[in-house]
Structure 1
Amino acid sequence: MKSNFDFAEAAGAFACFAKPSAYVQADLYEPERDEYEQMLGGKAREELVAADFGTVAWGPLCYLTPSAMAYLLPRLMEIAASDATDSIGDLFMMRFINRFSAGPVGFEFSLLSAKQRTVVASFLEYLSTEHAEVVRQECWEDDLAEAVLNWRAA
């Protein structure tokens, strides 16, 4: 069964969020925070690519402010669905699944409304159908199933 996810509709659900003045949490160690801000802050959201979020071992994805997460979410979904890889060749989709598997419990998700949480859940379901083979090959199917359940339950 094919699943459809409307990326334009998803972007509309997050259109109320303006570009934040800072992307990274203020309490992060300063040199690292400054580097992460430089990686993300100078580009238009639509120009961001997987490599702009570093690698699984070093990158800003885990340190985004709530306003940055909300603003960037439509682009993060696009990058994840495009089978994009980071600078060392790892699929960004797997990092997205990992980051979102616990559900919207983290501080960075605190600005999301019920409607926006539903959009994220729908996107995760889309990944589980449209990208099932890649997810299985990378051994992330259990984490993705958990993510869907956690976002649906929120």
Structure 2
Amino acid sequence: MPTDTQILAAIDAAFGDSPRPEHFTHYRHCCECAEHDELLRHRDRETLQHADVGNAGWDPICFCSPEGIAYYFPALARFALAEPVPELDWYGWQMVFHLDYGGAENPFFQHCAPQQRQAVAGLLAHLLETRTGLLEMDADSALRAHGVWAG
């Protein structure tokens, strides 16, 4: 079984060259999209914090383009592998939601190259193997997402 460090290295190798988009959301759509875009434009992979994306009711990744998710995916993977903190829910739940949403029609899934899909499938398998207790509520979603991403 790979370690967290090995999983993160695979994610970094797959997504590390993903370019930073000029905008992350359809920022002209509404005030919420504009606010999320502004936050994401003022962060990078190193400065994005779990608190920036950790509220499921106010999650900029829900509005983010596939290109933006690819850019931030190494940071999001780190949040999913981090220990839960009392102030925020464990990020793995949100990650599973984003990866399961729409199945094979998921825009992020459609955007990803085979190597990226393989890295995401590896992350999901790792979460299922090592974070079973945390995934209890979302085990079905995680298994379904893994099935899609693993092909």
What range is the shorter-chain TM-score in? 0.7 to 0.9
Q: In proportion to residue count, which structure has more helix?
A: 2
Provide TM-score, normalisation by structure 2. Answer: 0.86
Shift in CA distance, 129/54, structure 1 to aligned 2, threshold 3 Å:
closer
Number of the residue aligned with 1:22 = 23
Note the residue ranges of structure 1 that are not aligned, 5 or more in a row: none
- Runs of 4+ in structure 1 deviating by more than 6 angstroms, as ranges, are none
Note the residue ranges of structure 2 that are not aligned, 5 or more in a row: none
Shift in CA distance, 36/73, structure 1 to aligned 2, threshold 3 Å:
same
> What CA RMSD, in Å, does the superposition of the two structures yield over aligned residues?
2.1
Q: Percent identity?
A: 23
How far residue 125 of structure 1 moved from its aligned partner, in angstroms, is 0.3
State the alpha-carbon separation in 1 of the partners of residues 66 and 138 from structure 2.
Answer: 25
State the alpha-carbon separation in 2 of the partners of residues 65 and 122 from structure 1.
Answer: 22
State the alpha-carbon separation in 2 of the partners of residues 27 and 114 from structure 1.
Answer: 32
Number of the residue aligned with 2:34 = 34
C-alpha contact (below 8 Å) 2:27/2:34 kept by paired residues: no
**Pairing of 1:69-148 with structure 2 (within 5 A):** 69-84=69-84, 89-102=88-101, 103-136=103-136, 139-148=137-146
Helix, strand or coil at the partner of 1:75 = helix
Provide TM-score, normalisation by structure 1. Answer: 0.84
How far residue 67 of structure 1 moved from its aligned partner, in angstroms, is 1.3
